[in-house]
């Protein structure tokens, strides 16, 4: 049974089974997200899509909409929390936007701009994450991984190959390649795989492309991520 | 070559005077002077106190990222690193760049030469030259120039702005753009940018001519200073086009000795290692390159405008060529060796850059045509370019997996390391020896260093008033004199 809830004070209709995020998007309201993707089930790991419902902070990608809910999203409190999450993601990896070829096409960078993140705030971890250039067509730069598991899910559920996985726990968590050698070249991964184009940041990169598309003409250069995400259904 | 004053015999018994940091240069360096009890200079050294480490952290990165990453070496001449790395990677990919791509890169590069030379002359050095080395320190800056010579300052600022606009139109940003890629370019020049630049270029040529005239007036007004200050014999090196013309984007290496005789010529850029070696000295982070066949004592050399203007056979634009001839005539058959002649040569190059930009802007290849080509992939490449401060060498080896395995960078200021140290020693000997030190006297040392337009860190430059504290200590370490500029 569907109904309506209030999203930042505006009524939003929903259908039975829709999450808050899905219903809000259907009504034209953008909620920041990183691990959520329209083609995949909710994952609920990045927490960028948190909203406040009845005094609790919840993941809007995972919580089903309920009639009469009052949802706060675009507020200083919630955006401040999102910003803090972004800052933690930035210091947890090695994100050097000035020379990153994903700059302008990167959701992490675009959200940092969108949410006015002006400093890293926390001490950098500077993890040691060597790149994997073994595959002839695709480069893996683990420095930029945000553990959204979109590549894990795409490779497992769409490509049916299970090339990627997260391993270890907590602060030592990291992305690995499912091969005895740990090298992408020793898997059946192909550049045409869904997983090759799913990374929201700059981990999985088509080789020898780099800066072929000029900075200034990229996805988030001319419009903010909230506009792009809604127009392109991302 | 004279290496006296590099290391004193009884260092522990000498007084130490430090200029730290050297101001109105890019990056951080310091000068140490050791004086005996009669104030005679016994040792003078220019130290580069920064350590950047780019050569190491480039290793393990994909080759297509390098032209963008390495330009973070510098906020003043990032284009030079951007293009030198691109040229090296062209070689790795085995790609002869297309006509359009090369012309776009040339336009970007000459925009870089124009803006950097304008910045150096007007913002950093003209205060010394217009007001005097020992003038009131509070006015010896670009703000002081703007107050006393508003038209000179205005033209300087607008020349630099124009050069930055050329860079933006070709690289995408005024600083740290991404226009050049391994194997070519990723953008054409937009028609509206071309038209906007063409509307202003004639002013730029005129103002560049005026800048050359200004330097010549300064030389004529005080030849005793301009022809003698920091004068010493030195070899020179630069790229020269196949027909002997000045070409700041591409060419082969040529060396001349201190008498102006060509020692080595037409050495392909890929063979630079057969010519140049680098010496390490324990008191500096910056290496000392030298021409291998002459060895470290005799083989050091100068690069940059003073070298280039005298190393080429001609400049391929008419106004700058006329100025070059007058410059050469000034030497009366001898190479011009005075340190302050760097400024004169630099302004001739700025005029050449303005003329070259004017000519390029009429070329339709900038607006259309293939930007990338195919080639046969190799594993090694050298890219050499004449950056504003001198010859810039990028050398990479790339594995079959596309990751860089070796990176060697010899930046312009490194080539000039020994020459700057020699200039410091010449000036210390001539102007400071046996005298009570003042801020103005010590500024003579900085004027000599500044003439080379050194980029000591090849790092982002913060223009402003840099603090300077000089302490004179006696043999027992007691501070007996202190000069502070804050």
d(CA A44, CA A17): 16
Residue numbers in B near A215 (CB within 8 A): 172-173, 177-178
* pLDDT at residue B156, rounded to an integer: 95
Owner of token pair 């670009």? B142
User: CA-CA distance, A111 to B198, in Å (whole number)?
Assistant: 39
Residue A91 lies in a domain: no
The residue of chain B with its CA nearest to that of A208 is B64
Q: Where in chain B is the domain with CATH 1.10.645.10?
A: 54-173+183-415
Residue B486, pLDDT above cutoff 70 = no
CA distance B208 to B206: 5
Q: How far apart are CA B369 and CA B44, in angstroms?
A: 54
Asked if the C-beta of B190 comes within 8 angstroms of chain A's C-beta atoms, the answer is: no
End-to-end CA distance of chain B: 38
The mean pLDDT value of chain B amounts to 89
Distance from the Cα of B394 to chain A's closest Cα (Å) equals 18
Q: Rounded mean pLDDT of B95-110?
A: 97
Torsion (CA) B28, B33, B34, B38 in degrees, nearest 10:
-160
B124 against A132, higher pLDDT: A132
**Across the interface, which of B61, B176, B179 has its CB nearest the CB of A98?**
B176
Domain assignment present for residue A121? The answer is yes
Asked if residue A116 and residue A63 are part of one domain, the reply reads: no
Split at pLDDT 50, 70, 90, the class of B475 is: low
Same domain, A197 and A126: yes
Nearest CA in chain A to B82: A99
User: Within a domain: residue A155?
Assistant: yes
Query: Angle at which helices B78-93 and B150-171 pack, to 10 degrees?
Result: 30
Q: Which residue has the higher pLDDT, B288 or A33?
A: A33
CA distance B55 to B381: 15
The CATH number assigned to the domain holding A120 equals 3.30.70.20
Q: Hunting for tokens 């000089």 — which residue is that? A: B470
Answer whether B64 sits within 8 Å of A211, measured CB to CB: yes
Q: Which helix (H) or strand (E) holds B240?
A: strand B235-240
Same domain, A50 and A162: no
**Greater confidence, B217 or B143?**
B217
Q: Decide if pLDDT at B471 tops 60.
A: no
Find out whether A21 and A31 touch, Cβ atoms under 8 Å: yes
SS3 A170: helix
Closest CB to A216 among B65, B172, B402:
B172
Domain CATH number, residue A37:
3.10.20.740
Distance from the Cα of B417 to chain A's closest Cα (Å) equals 29
Mutation test of the interface with chain A: which of B57, B63, B65, choosing the one with the most A Cβ atoms within 10 A?
A: B65
Residue B23, CB half-sphere, CA atoms under 13 Å: how many? 21
- In percent, the amount of chain B with pLDDT more than 70 equals 91
Q: Is the peptide bond before B21 cis (omega within 30 degrees of 0)?
A: yes
Write out residues 260-299 of B within 8 Å (CB-CB) of A. Answer: none
Return phi, psi of residue A145, to 5°. Answer: -70, 135
User: Structurally, how many domains does chain A consist of?
Assistant: 2
CB contact under 8 A, A210 and B173: no
Quick: pLDDT tens for B4-59.
Answer: 788 888 888 888 888 877 766 666 678 888 888 888 888 888 877 666 678 888 89
Of B328, B169, B302, whose CA–CA distance to B238 is shortest?
B302
Residue found by looking up tokens 């996985």 in the block: A165
* A114/A224 same-domain check: yes
| Closest by Cβ to A211, choosing from B186, B401, B402 | B186
Q: Which of A28, A38, A34, A37 is nearest to A47 (CA)?
A: A34
* Distance from the A19 Cα atom to the nearest Cα atom in chain B, whole angstroms: 40
Q: In this structure, is the dihedral angle defined by the CA atoms of residues B393, B399, B404 and B408, taken in order, positive or negative?
A: negative
The verdict on A124 and A214 lying in the same domain is yes
Torsion sign, CA atoms B363, B369, B375, B378: positive
pLDDT digits (tens, 9 = 90+) for B64-99: 999 999 888 777 788 999 999 999 999 999 999 999
CB contact under 8 A, B64 and A209: yes
Q: Residue B471: helix, strand or coil by DSSP?
A: strand
Distances (CA, A) of A197 to A42, A141, B196, B219, B230: 19, 14, 39, 63, 60
| Nearest C-alpha neighbor of A148 from the set A192, A201, A196, A110 | A201
Cβ-based contacts of A98 with chain B (< 8 Å): 68-69, 72, 176
Tell me how far apart the alpha carbons of residues B206 and B303 are, in angstroms, rounded to a whole number: 27
Query: How do residues B194-229 score in pLDDT, each as one tens digit?
Result: 999 999 999 999 999 999 999 999 999 999 999 999
Residue B135 has pLDDT above 90, yes or no: no
pLDDT of residue B401: 97
Instruction: Indicate whether A149 and A37 sit together in one domain.
Output: no
| Chain B: residue whose CA lies nearest to A184 | B401
Q: Are residues A140 and A193 in the same domain?
A: yes
| Residue spans of chain A under pLDDT 50 | none
Gap between the Cα atoms of B254 and B260, Å rounded:
11
CB contact under 8 A, B178 and A207: no
pLDDT for the residue B68:
94
Tell which phi-psi region holds residue A233, choosing left (phi > 0), alpha (psi between -120 and 50) or beta.
Answer: left
Q: Quote the ipTM score.
A: 0.93
pLDDT of residue A149: 97
- Shared domain check, A222 and A125: yes
Query: What is residue B479's predicted lDDT score, i.e. its pLDDT?
Result: 62
Q: State residue B149's pLDDT score.
A: 93
Quick check: A210 and B181 CB within 8 A? yes
pTM of the model: 0.90
Q: Enumerate the residues of chain B whose CB falls inside 8 A of the CB of residue A216.
A: 172-173
Comparing alpha-carbon positions, the chain B residue that sits nearest to A98 is B69
Instruction: Give me the mean pLDDT over the B144-151 stretch.
Output: 92
Quick check: is A88 in a domain? no
- Check pLDDT > 50 for residue B2: no
Q: Which residues pair with B381 in a beta bridge?
A: B396
DSSP one-letter string for B422-448: HHHHHHIIIIITTS---HHHHHHHHHH
Residues of A with CB under 8 A from a CB of B: 98-101, 130-131, 133-134, 139, 205, 207-216
**Most trustworthy range by pLDDT among B49-53, B123-127, B322-326:** B322-326
How close B416 gets to chain A, by Cα (Å)?
29
Residue of A99, A139, A214 lying closest to B187 (CB–CB): A214
Supply the pLDDT for residue A226: 95
Q: Which residues of A touch B68 (CB under 8 A)?
A: 98-99, 101, 210-211
In chain B, what residues touch A131 (CB-CB under 8 Å)? 60-62, 403
Tokens of B138: 């509070």
Q: Is A84 a domain residue? A: no
Chain B residue nearest residue A213, CA to CA:
B186
- Residues of B (157-186) whose Cβ lies below 8 Å from A: 172-173, 176-179, 181-182, 186
Cβ neighbour number for residue B195 with a 10 Å cutoff: 10
CB contact (8 A) between residue A215 and residue B182: no
What pLDDT score does B478 carry? Answer: 64
User: Residue A134 is part of which domain span?
Assistant: 96-230
Question: Cβ B172–A101 below 8 Å, yes or no?
Answer: no
Residue B210 Cα distances to B204, B222, B316, B324, B342, angstroms: 10, 19, 20, 15, 17
* pLDDT, tens digit (0-9, with 9 covering 90-100), for A114-126: 999 999 999 999 9
Residue-wise burial string across B25-37, b where 16 or more C-beta atoms lie within 10 A, e elsewhere: bbbbbebbbbbbe
CB B409 within 8 A of CB B54: yes
Compute the average pLDDT of residues B362-389.
96
Shared domain check, A104 and A70: no
Q: Which residues of chain A make contact with B62, given a CB cutoff of 8 A?
A: 131, 133, 139, 205, 207, 210
Cβ distance of A131 and B176 shorter than 8 Å: no
Write the CATH number of the domain with boundaries B54-173+183-415: 1.10.645.10
- Residue A172, domain member (yes or no): yes
Matching residue, tokens 């060697």: B408
């Amino acid at each position: 049974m569907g109904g309506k809830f209030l999203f930042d004070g505006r009524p939003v209709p929903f259908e039975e089974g829709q999450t808050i995020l899905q219903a809000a998007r259907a009504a034209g309201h953008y909620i920041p997200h990183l691990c959520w993707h329209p083609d995949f089930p909710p994952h609920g790991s990045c927490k960028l899509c948190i909203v406040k419902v009845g005094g609790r902070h919840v993941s809007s990608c995972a919580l089903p909409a309920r009639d009469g809910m009052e949802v706060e999203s675009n507020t200083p409190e919630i955006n401040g929390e999102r910003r803090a999450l972004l800052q933690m993601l930035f210091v947890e990896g090695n994100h050097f936007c000035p020379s990153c070829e994903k700059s302008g096409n990167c959701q992490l960078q675009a959200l940092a701009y969108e949410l006015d993140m002006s400093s890293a705030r926390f001490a950098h971890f500077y993890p040691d994450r060597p790149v994997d250039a073994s595959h002839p067509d695709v480069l893996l730069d683990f420095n930029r991984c945000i553990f959204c598991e979109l590549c894990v899910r795409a490779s497992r559920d769409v490509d049916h190959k299970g090339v990627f996985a997260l391993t270890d726990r907590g602060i030592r968590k990291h992305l690995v390649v499912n091969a005895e050698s740990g090298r992408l070249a020793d898997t059946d991964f192909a550049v045409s795989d869904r997983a090759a184009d799913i990374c929201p940041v700059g981990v999985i990169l088509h080789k020898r492309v780099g800066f072929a598309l000029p900075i200034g003409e990229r996805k988030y250069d001319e419009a903010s991520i909230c506009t792009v995400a809604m127009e392109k259904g991302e | 070559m004279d290496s006296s004053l590099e290391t004193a015999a009884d260092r522990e018994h000498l007084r130490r005077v430090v200029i730290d940091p050297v101001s109105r240069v890019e990056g951080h360096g310091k000068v140490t002077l050791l004086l005996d009890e009669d104030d005679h200079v016994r040792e003078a050294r220019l130290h580069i106190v920064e350590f950047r480490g780019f050569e190491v952290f480039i290793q393990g990165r994909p080759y297509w990222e390098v032209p963008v990453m390495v330009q973070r070496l510098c906020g003043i001449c990032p284009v030079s690193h951007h293009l030198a790395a691109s040229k090296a990677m062209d070689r790795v990919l085995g790609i002869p760049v297309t006509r359009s791509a090369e012309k776009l890169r040339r336009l970007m590069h000459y925009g870089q030469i124009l803006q950097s030379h304008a910045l150096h002359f007007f913002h950093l050095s003209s205060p010394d030259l217009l007001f005097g080395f020992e003038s009131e320190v509070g006015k010896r800056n670009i703000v002081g120039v703007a107050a006393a010579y508003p038209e000179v300052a205005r033209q300087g600022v607008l020349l630099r702005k124009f050069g930055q606009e050329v860079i933006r139109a070709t690289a995408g940003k005024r600083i740290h753009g991404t226009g050049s890629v391994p194997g070519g370019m990723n953008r054409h020049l937009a028609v509206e940018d071309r038209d906007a630049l063409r509307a202003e270029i004639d002013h730029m040529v005129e103002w560049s001519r005026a800048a050359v005239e200004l330097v010549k007036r300064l030389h004529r007004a005080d030849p005793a200073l301009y022809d003698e200050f920091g004068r010493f014999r030195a070899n020179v090196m630069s790229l020269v086009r196949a027909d002997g013309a000045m070409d700041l984007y591409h060419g082969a290496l040529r060396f001349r000795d201190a008498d102006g005789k060509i020692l080595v010529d037409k050495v392909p850029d890929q063979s630079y290692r057969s010519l140049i070696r680098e010496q390490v000295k324990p008191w500096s982070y910056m290496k000392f390159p030298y021409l291998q066949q002459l060895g470290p004592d005799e083989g050091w050399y100068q690069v940059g405008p003073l070298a280039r203007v005298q190393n080429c056979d001609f400049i391929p634009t008419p106004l700058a060529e006329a100025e070059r001839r007058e410059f050469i005539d000034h030497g009366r058959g001898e190479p011009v060796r005075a340190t302050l002649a760097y400024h004169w040569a630099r302004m001739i190059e700025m005029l050449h850059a303005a003329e070259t930009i004017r000519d390029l802007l009429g070329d339709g290849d900038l607006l259309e045509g293939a930007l990338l080509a195919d080639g046969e992939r190799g594993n090694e490449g050298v890219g050499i370019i004449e950056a504003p401060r001198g010859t810039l060498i990028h050398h990479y080896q790339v594995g079959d997996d596309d990751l860089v395995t070796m990176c060697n960078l010899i930046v312009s200021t490194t080539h000039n390391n020994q020459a700057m140290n020699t200039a410091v020693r010449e000036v210390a000997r001539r102007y400071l020896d046996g005298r009570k030190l003042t801020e103005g006297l010590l500024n003579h040392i900085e004027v000599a260093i500044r003439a080379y337009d050194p980029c000591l860190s090849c790092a982002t430059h913060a223009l402003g008033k840099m603090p300077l504290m000089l302490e004179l200590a006696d043999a027992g370490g007691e501070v007996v004199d202190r000069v502070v500029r804050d």
